Amino acid sequence: MKLIESVPNFSEGRRKEVVEKIVAEAKKYDRVWVLDWSMDADHNRSVITLVGEPENLINALFDMTKKAAELIDLRNHTGQHPRMGAADVIPLVPLYNTTMEECVEYSKILGRRIGEELGIPVYLYEKSATRPERQNLADIRKGEFEGFFEKIKDPLWKPDFGPDRVHPTAGVTAVGAREFLIAFNVNLGTRDVKIAEKIARAIRFSSGGLRYVKAIGVDLKGRGVVQVSINITNHKKTPLYRVFELIKMEAERYGVPVLGSEIVGLFPLESLLKTVSYYLRTDLNAKKVIESNLLEILVRESEK
């Protein structure tokens, strides 16, 4: 079996019936499973977590995008989170027996269909990007929906698929393959947020730290502690344990205790296996885990 994860973001976080209709498009498909979905009214945005076999998942994502384009009108959309499309961004993440290269291929298949069949301009981002300035989603999204009517005229921002003009109500969409992103927070036993900021600088890529780490220092007001808040954008190459141990090491120079950590949202089994393998000085893989074996059998059964 091959499994891909996708966490599409849609620009609707207030009308529950709209999000439910988008989710329903995914549920039509065999071997596509909706693990989780959530709405945020302030951001006016929803995030849906899907896992599925590649072909079916791509078809499901296409149908969800089509439904979002029918039901969401960005001309009336307000919210705190930057956005540029009804289906704003669709990442594909290799989960099980699937390579990054395959996810790149699938992102192009999906992007082409969205562009040609729905008339929505598509930008390939991250590992699927066709030029360096499109790797970073934030660079693509700069200017947002309203700004794109001008931005798209710049030859540098010619879409990878679809027409050279913004869809009047559904905007533009980013599609791309990327690694699973782990949001990881570490709490420090001090009230001094400067220490959290210094540690964040020490570990993050942008200031000389680990390649796949983004980090900031945050004051958890009222709790008497501060936090290093981290995104690990490639946990295979920059594993959780290395980030955690580096924070412990840096915290020590300030005599500050590491109180604990938390992983935000869902995370893949592989990140656990890598962590345990490091600490127990061994080399574990999913084939050794009872639940993985059972999952493999059940996915096989569901194919029948």
Number of residues that bind its own copies (CB under 8 A): 46
CB 279, CB 241: distance < 8 Å: yes
Is 197 in a helix, a strand, or coil? helix
Contact residues for 92 (Cβ-Cβ < 8 A; gap 6+)? 4, 5, 6, 103, 106, 107, 110, 175, 176, 177, 178
CB of 21: closest distance to its own copies in angstroms? 21
Which of 43, 77, 81, 235 is catalytic? The answer is 81
What does the per-residue mask of binding to its own copies show for 256-285, with x meaning CB under 8 A? --xxxxxx-xxxxx--xx-xx--xxxx-x-
CB 52, CB 95: distance < 8 Å: no
CB 229, CB 218: distance < 8 Å: yes
Question: CA 211, CA 76: separation in Å to the nearest integer?
Answer: 39
Annotated active-site residue 43? The verdict is: no
For residue 107, the Cα-to-chain-centroid distance in whole angstroms is 14
What does the per-residue mask of binding to its own copies show for 123-162, with x meaning CB under 8 A? ----------------------------------------
Identify the residue among 28, 95, 130, 154 touching its own copies (CB under 8 A). 95
CB of 152: closest distance to its own copies in angstroms? 36
What does the per-residue mask of binding to its own copies show for 16-55, with x meaning CB under 8 A? -----------------x-xx------------x-x----
What backbone torsions phi and psi does residue 230 show, to the nearest 5 degrees?
-125, 140
Identify the residue among 23, 218, 220, 289 touching its own copies (CB under 8 A). 289
- Smaller CB distance to its own copies: residue 218 or 286? 286
Using CB under 8 A as the binding rule, whether residue 213 contacts its own copies is answered as no
What backbone torsions phi and psi does residue 262 show, to the nearest 5 degrees?
-145, 140
Residue 143 burial (C-beta neighbours within 10 Å; 0-12, 13-18, 19+):
middle
- Smaller CB distance to its own copies: residue 27 or 253? 27
Residue with tokens 């499109």: 134
CB of 281: closest distance to its own copies in angstroms? 4
Identify the residue among 29, 145, 157, 244 touching its own copies (CB under 8 A). 244
Helix axes 54-71, 16-27, angle to 10 degrees: 150
CB of 275: closest distance to its own copies in angstroms? 5
Binding site for its own copies (CB under 8 A): 3, 5, 33, 35-36, 49, 51, 95-96, 240-241, 244, 258-263, 265-269, 272-273, 275-276, 279-282, 284, 286, 288-295, 297-299, 301-302
Active site residues: 81
